[in-house]
């Protein structure tokens, strides 16, 4: 089938186009690197001009706070949780405060972490009163014999671990309430839908890091998708779908979660690194811009390998994203055309893919 674009989403292509400088070796194994995302979606200059500077500042703070952990010799997981808590606390992202609303007008939050060294993992899904779900996912990994806890049970565990539960109103923002109203109007057919399904997610957050000891970690936190029902759980808290880390590779995804689950996107990407010896860019593009898109989904991801290579494969109109290394200078981008180092985009229609590297 001839590849073609529809606005903001690649309809039928699985090739990749690496921007100049994409996925160059960032650092030797002992040189820490932190990479974050704040969600993929339709992110346009004309819609973001009021928030643009503020969003960049939050991304930079997340990178600086996370990188401070690595500079202090702390493990990659500390950098991941330090960065993600900044993003969860900001109303600009669909995680923690500012999470999207369910059909019933609730906020149901999902999060997961994974550590490459020993492949330990923790996850929570459908929690409603946890300010920083990423910290609860970490507690599940470190303080329980389990990997994944959901709903009230997860909140009981949180209380047993000394977490303070916040009122559900803490998560409310008028912007997300408006997005729910719009989605429900469209659902009811009261408005001609020119806001397609994929507009419903923007702002899941995630981080991957390589520490001075050469170990990788990954984490992802989200409110899921606007207007979700029936206690729907997406890919973000599912180890192997939205999050993965092993000795060679770490991944955090953002996008239409059902497709990340159906492609086991996180694990499949890292399996390509493991078995095919592919780079972060090639493996990430094959799955995010290939497998996910072929099934009808879309989104993005951050991928890092143990030599410090990293990549931002995505096929939406934008993705909040950034990286920082030993220079201490955060680099962030919001839009598709900013050409951030590591960006890996699908090839435009009719254009041959750039050679894989
Ligand atoms: N992947 C998330 C989910 O499906 C949404 C997102 O990334 O924005 O729950």
Q: Is residue 85 flagged as an active site residue?
A: no
Nearest ligand 1 atom, CA 224: 9
Instruction: Render each residue's pLDDT in the chain as its tens digit; 357 residues.
Output: 333 222 233 322 333 444 444 444 444 446 999 999 999 987 777 667 788 999 999 999 999 999 999 999 999 999 999 999 999 999 999 999 999 999 999 999 999 999 999 999 999 999 999 999 999 999 999 999 999 999 999 999 999 999 999 999 999 999 999 989 988 888 887 654 455 554 556 689 999 999 999 999 999 999 999 999 999 999 999 999 999 999 999 999 999 999 999 999 999 999 999 999 999 999 999 999 999 999 999 999 999 999 999 999 999 989 999 999 999 999 999 999 999 999 999 977 656 554 443
H-type alpha helices, the chain = 45-48, 52-71, 76-89, 133-143, 151-160, 174-187, 257-262, 265-276, 280-286, 292-294
Measured CA distances, 97 to 72, 87, 89, 318 (Å): 28, 9, 6, 22
The Å distance, Cα 154 to ligand 1 centre, comes to 20
- Measured CA to CA, the distance from residue 117 to residue 180 in angstroms comes to 40
| Tens-place pLDDT, residues 254-306 | 999 999 999 999 999 999 999 999 999 999 999 999 999 999 999 999 999 99
φ, ψ for residue 59, nearest 5 deg: -60, -40
Question: Which residues is 149 bridged to in the sheet?
Answer: 124
**Which position among 204, 222, 243, 263 bears the catalytic label?**
204
The Å distance, Cα 256 to ligand 1 centre, comes to 5
Nearest ligand 1 atom, CA 223: 9
* DSSP label at residue 242: T
| Ligand 1, atom 9: closest residue by C-alpha | 224
Give me the domains of the chain, ranges plus CATH numbers: 16-96+198-335 (3.60.20.30)
Q: Is the CB of 38 under 6 A from ligand 1?
A: no
């Amino acid at each position: 089938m001839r590849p073609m674009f529809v606005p903001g989403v690649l309809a039928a292509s699985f090739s990749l186009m690496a921007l100049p400088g994409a996925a160059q070796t960032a650092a030797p194994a002992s040189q820490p690197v932190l990479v974050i995302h704040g969600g993929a979606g339709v992110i346009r200059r004309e819609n973001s001009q009021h928030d643009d500077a503020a969003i960049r500042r939050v991304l930079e703070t997340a990178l600086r706070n996370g990188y401070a952990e690595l500079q202090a010799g702390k493990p990659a997981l500390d950098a991941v949780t330090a960065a993600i808590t900044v993003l969860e606390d900001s109303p600009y992202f669909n995680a923690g405060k500012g999470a999207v609303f369910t059909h019933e007008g609730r906020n149901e939050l999902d999060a997961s972490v994974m550590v490459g060294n020993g492949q330990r993992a923790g996850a929570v899904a459908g929690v409603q009163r946890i300010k920083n779900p990423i910290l609860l996912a970490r507690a599940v990994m470190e303080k329980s014999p389990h990997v994944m806890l959901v709903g009230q049970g997860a909140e009981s565990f949180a209380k047993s671990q000394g977490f303070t539960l916040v009122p559900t109103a803490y998560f409310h923002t008028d912007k997300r309430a408006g997005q729910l109203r719009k989605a429900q109007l469209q659902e009811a057919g009261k408005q001609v839908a020119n806001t397609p399904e994929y507009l419903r997610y923007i702002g899941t957050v995630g981080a991957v890091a390589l520490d001075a000891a050469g170990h990788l970690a990954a984490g992802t936190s989200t409110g899921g998708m606007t207007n979700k029902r029936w206690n729907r759980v997406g890919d973000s808290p599912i180890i192997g779908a939205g999050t993965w880390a092993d000795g060679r590779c770490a991944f955090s995804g953002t996008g239409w979660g059902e497709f990340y689950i159906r492609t086991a996107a996180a694990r499949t990407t890292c399996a390509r690194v493991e078995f095919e010896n592919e780079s972060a860019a090639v493996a990430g593009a094959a799955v995010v811009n290939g497998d996910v898109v072929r099934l009808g989904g879309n989104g993005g991801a951050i991928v890092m390998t143990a030599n410090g290579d990293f990549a931002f494969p995505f096929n939406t109109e934008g993705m909040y994203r950034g990286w920082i290394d030993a220079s201490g200078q955060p680099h962030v981008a919001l839009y598709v055309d900013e050409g951030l180092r590591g960006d890996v985009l699908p090839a435009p229609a009719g254009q041959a893919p750039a050679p894989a590297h």
